[in-house]
Amino acid sequence: MTAENRTITEVKVVISTALSRGRDLRYVVLDAVTGEIIDDAQGYGYKSAQNAHRAHAYKSLPPKKKK
């Protein structure tokens, strides 16, 4: 089953070594099953794990609930 077919996607937020520089850690959202990057803040990474979780939760809402 692919990520597009599942209604509930299991995700995890991890530190991206490619986007982090020194003490400036950057986080990305990964699919927990496949390890595929779901969201990386347009290539910049999120500054905190909380922000990454928050952005993914908002982006995964149905359009009707976003209003």
**Is the pLDDT confidence value at 6 over 70?**
no
Domain segments of the chain as ranges: 11-59
**Is the pLDDT confidence value at 65 over 90?**
no
pTM of the model: 0.81
Q: Is 50 exposed, middle or buried (0-12, 13-18, 19+ CB in 10 A)?
A: exposed
**Is the pLDDT confidence value at 1 over 50?**
no
Q: What is the pLDDT of residues 10-54, one digit of tens each?
A: 999 999 999 999 999 999 999 999 999 999 999 999 999 999 999
What's at 19, amino acid-wise?
L
